[in-house]
Structure 1
């Protein structure tokens, strides 16, 4: 089993990353393969329903991490999404 942990924070090694690493430690004690994927700081392009992904197998806008994420997502059995909470 492989779990992809997604770090949605603009700070690569901030508090969200720390929380994800704690989850990762627990998963590894159960022999679960893990990977932490950082979304980075570039904005993610919104979908415009051009349907090119169906033809090409990937998003036509290759200026963000969406295609990189999708490739990793195909191999994952589960996901953990980490997001910072700045205003709560």
Structure 2
């Protein structure tokens, strides 16, 4: 009998690589979308804050918010335009 811990299985029964997460699909993805939309729109959290809090990438959080039809806020700290830029 093996005493090694079993690694979680991903798609097609293959083990998930260390440091990687199972894909968000179906109801789990819908739940995450709703939670993120609420935190972004109602609680005012930034995409970066949400990415750090949920240990997911900035890009994934942005895609999930787009899927939830969230209206994005304008960037607050834009860099000043250089002279001659329109």
Q: Shorter-chain TM-score category?
A: under 0.3
Query: How high is the TM-score relative to the length of structure 2?
Result: 0.28
TM score, norm. by length of structure 1: 0.27
- Between Structure 1 and Structure 2, the one with more helix by share is 2
**Greater Rg by CA:** 2
Higher RCO structure, 1 or 2 (CA under 8 Å, sep 6+): 1
| More strand, by proportion | 1
